[in-house]
Amino acid sequence: MIAIHRFIILDEITKTYAVPLGEPAFRKFFGWLFAFEILAGFPLDFLGALQGLNVTLAATAIWFVAALVLSVGLMVRLSILPPAIAVEAPGARPAAALEDTKGWALRIFAIFFVAVIPWLAVDLAVFALIGRGIIVTGFDRGHDRPCVRRHFANGLAHLDRRYRLAVVHRARGA
């Protein structure tokens, strides 16, 4: 990921793709990716805790939505931090990221949402084609369709690579 950010932002081509565990920038970048993972999972963990405490359905829903909005809002505001850390920008700190994105959170969220729409469409199409049996691993209402799933998975992986290449190509202005 660091190499991709450095390529897009600095037009720097890396010579190797080894994991630089000893570099402070890598550890900081990895730490923030881990923090984003924790933030993303927080609303669901909070929901599980509320359900475990036998809180009413209405209260659970309200607290879950509040946790979801807080989590997504914080991730959107901090979304410029990993690229800044990847290029070792001076002042790449959470406080600076929050200050720089002040007033831009809805626009950043809209950009992320628009970027996800093609993937949602593909997911819905695959779900519609395979049916509800996809929920049970390996079976579709008594009929095994691993071949169909494998072809869809390969096709999605190919589309994913093509989409990422197109984004990088467009970002470079080529």
Choice between 150 and 104, residue whose per-residue pLDDT is larger: 104
Using 50, 70 and 90 to split pLDDT, how confident is the model at 144?
very low
Whether the predicted model's global pTM rises above the 0.85 cut: no
Using 50, 70 and 90 to split pLDDT, how confident is the model at 142?
very low
Let me know: does 85 contact 32? Beta carbons within 8 Å. Answer: yes
Scanning the structure block, which residue is given the tokens 């909005």? 69
Two tokens, residue 166: 């197109």
pLDDT beyond 60 at 140? no
What pLDDT sits at residue 126?
81
Region 58-71 average pLDDT: 94
Using 50, 70 and 90 to split pLDDT, how confident is the model at 123?
confident
> Helix (H, G, I), strand (E, B), or coil: what is residue 15?
coil
CA-closest candidate to residue 116, choices 78, 74, 76, 61: 76
Two tokens, residue 14: 């890396």
In whole angstroms, give the CA distance from residue 64 to residue 66: 5
Q: What is the DSSP letter of 144?
A: -
Q: How far is CA 147 from CA 71, 153, 156, in A?
A: 38, 10, 14
Using 50, 70 and 90 to split pLDDT, how confident is the model at 174?
very low
Using 50, 70 and 90 to split pLDDT, how confident is the model at 120?
confident
Let me know: does 68 contact 32? Beta carbons within 8 Å. Answer: no
CA-closest candidate to residue 61, choices 50, 53, 71, 75: 50
Domain range annotation of the chain: 1-102, 103-174
